[in-house]
């Protein structure tokens, strides 16, 4: 495996990359639909709706149940969803295997780490704290923190500016076509993870630079981390 000797920092997506968030998102959506007295949806459906932010996810949910909401209904639904998700996200969101150990290894070896997610920024501080990984990130960017969501490269440009990097010095790790497109648009090298949420499509079709089945394999690309991430 070739080493990426020029890499000075790593940025990550969140949902489907670091965490399995589908159970919490689905539960909040199901409660929202129940409040609105509408048909429910399955966790499997929600998994295919994740990745473009809350508004797009809700649009996909309404389309799946054949409902065309008014602007007023959509606003009500979003408020209900946010309220329910705030209650369940800490309990229903879990780290994927080897994520915490790998982040710690990178942090301990002095790689600045950033989070670039389309998830609304309001949820991130409490969620990262509950997962025990907030301390590893020097920069956290959520929906509302950047001018445009992924696949636009705005978030990655913001990371490069904050860390003082050129594009070939920032590695981006994600699980969906939005992540890979954002990194390619920013001219950053890419790692894709096969276990995430890519609308039911193999992430290999997005042609990432590297494709891994296990999060800890990121360490094989970098010259410095030596810490054990196998536990």
User: Which residues are known catalytic residues?
Assistant: 13
β-strand partners of 141:
116
H/E segment holding residue 142: strand 139-143
The answer to whether residues 15 and 92 touch, using CB atoms and an 8 Å cutoff, is no
Exposed / middle / buried, residue 59 (Cβ in 10 Å: 0-12, 13-18, 19+): middle
Sign of CA dihedral 151, 78, 18, 41: negative
CA distance linking residue 21 with residue 89, whole number of Å? 8
Exposed / middle / buried, residue 206 (Cβ in 10 Å: 0-12, 13-18, 19+): buried
The answer to whether residues 216 and 187 touch, using CB atoms and an 8 Å cutoff, is no
Reduced DSSP (H G I as helix, E B as strand, rest coil) percent helix, strand, coil of the chain, to 5: 50, 15, 40
């Amino acid at each position: 495996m070739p080493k990426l000797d020029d890499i000075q920092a790593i940025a990550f997506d969140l949902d489907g990359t670091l965490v399995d968030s589908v159970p919490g998102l689905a539960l909040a959506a199901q409660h929202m639909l129940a409040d609105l007295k509408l048909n429910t949806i399955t966790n499997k459906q929600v998994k295919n709706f994740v990745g473009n932010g809350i508004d797009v996810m809700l649009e996909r949910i309404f389309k799946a149940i054949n409902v065309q909401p008014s602007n007023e209904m959509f606003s009500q639904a979003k408020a209900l969803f946010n309220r329910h998700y705030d209650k369940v996200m800490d309990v229903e969101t879990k780290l994927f295997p080897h994520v915490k150990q790998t982040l710690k290894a990178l942090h301990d070896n002095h790689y600045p780490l950033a989070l670039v997610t389309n998830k609304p920024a309001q949820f991130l501080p409490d969620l990262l704290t509950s997962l025990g990984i907030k301390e590893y990130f020097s920069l956290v960017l959520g929906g509302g923190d950047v001018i445009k969501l992924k696949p636009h490269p705005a978030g990655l440009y913001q990371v490069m500016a904050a860390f003082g990097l050129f594009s070939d010095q920032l590695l981006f790790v994600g699980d969906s076509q939005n992540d890979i497109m954002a990194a390619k648009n920013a001219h950053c090298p890419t790692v894709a993870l096969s276990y995430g949420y890519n609308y039911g499509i193999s992430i290999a079709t997005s042609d990432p630079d590297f494709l891994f089945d296990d999060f800890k394999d990121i360490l094989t690309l970098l010259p410095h981390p030596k810490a054990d991430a196998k536990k």
